[in-house]
Amino acid sequence: NAGVTQTPKFQVLKTGQSMTLQCAQDMNHEYMSWYRQDPGMGLRLIHYSVGAGITDQGEVPNGYNVSRSTTEDFPLRLLSAAPSQTSVYFCASSDFSEQFFGPGTRLTVL
Amino acid sequence: QQPVQSPQAVILREGEDAVINCSSSKALYSVHWYRQKHGEAPVFLMILLKGGEQKGHEKISASFNEKKQQSSLYLTASQLSYSGTYFCGTVGMDTGRRALTFGSGTRLQVQP
């Protein structure tokens, strides 16, 4: 039981590049979400999903896309990376009570 | 809207107690508490649900005042391992009971 896994752990992009952050969970949770955490700050919700085929926007969705084709996977796509998207990204899944967080992806956009 | 946490930071000696507060301006379905150590992911501590149900760890206690939309986390007889940043997360009655909105955190440092 791996819990929530995220890849890659670290990534450096140039402005304008696109990429996908991967997230997978093996707990059969319906609810999954993506957060970003800037230095010294709390977690801000980007997008979330309540099940396969259903997604919705969080507090800071601009510049990010998501899709949920399976229960297990919830990838986050950066369409055209900007320096303001430099952050640590956490994926989480939930059984409607406790949220289980992945280890995070540290993204730097130059 | 983001819940407001207080204090922003606190320093304790081992064995001392601390209270961290979280308040929201909107009606809440639940309040969650997490602890995050530097460079790591947040870890679940406690959830408090509207109606009084609680789920969490044995050594952590918390309260949820539904009328005031406020929650407090009580850390008693603090240990060095309690150091970290504590976040409250709230689920509003208007968000389908799923989306968590986090506060900006309270940094707790426990010294020997």
Summarize the confidence of residues A14-21 as an average pLDDT: 97
pLDDT digits (tens, 9 = 90+) for A83-95: 999 999 999 999 8
> What confidence score (pLDDT) does residue B1 get?
78
Could you give the CA distance from residue B105 to residue B112 in angstroms, rounded to a whole number?
23
**CB contact at 8 A, A36 and A47:** no
Residue in A58, A97, A103 closest to B99 by CB:
A58
pLDDT by position in tens, chain B (length 112): 789 999 999 999 999 999 999 999 988 889 999 999 999 999 999 899 877 766 666 678 899 988 899 999 999 889 999 999 999 999 888 766 567 889 999 999 999 9
- In B, which residues are within 8 Å of A90 by CB distance? 41-42
Which residues numbered 30-59 in A keep a CB inside 8 Å of some CB on B? 31, 33, 35, 41-45, 48, 50, 56, 58-59
> What confidence score (pLDDT) does residue B96 get?
60
Q: Which residue has the tokens 């289980």?
A: A100
In Å, how far are A50, B33, B49, B90 from B29, measured between CA atoms? 17, 14, 6, 8
> What confidence score (pLDDT) does residue B95 get?
63
Q: Do A99 and B100 lie within an 8 Å CB cutoff?
A: yes
> What confidence score (pLDDT) does residue A33 get?
95
Could you give the CA distance from residue B92 to residue A24 in angstroms, rounded to a whole number?
26
Mean pLDDT of chain A: 94
Residue by residue, DSSP assigns chain B as ---EEE-SEEEEETT--EEEEEE-SS-EEEEEEEEE-TTS--EEEEEEETTS-EEE-TT-EEEEETTTTEEEEEE-S--GGG-EEEEEEEEETTTTTT--EE---EEEEEE-
Q: Do A43 and B32 lie within an 8 Å CB cutoff?
A: no
Summarize the confidence of residues A43-58 as an average pLDDT: 93
DSSP secondary structure code for residue A73 in this structure:
B
**CB contact at 8 A, B85 and B35:** yes
Q: Do B43 and A101 lie within an 8 Å CB cutoff?
A: yes
> What confidence score (pLDDT) does residue A89 get?
98
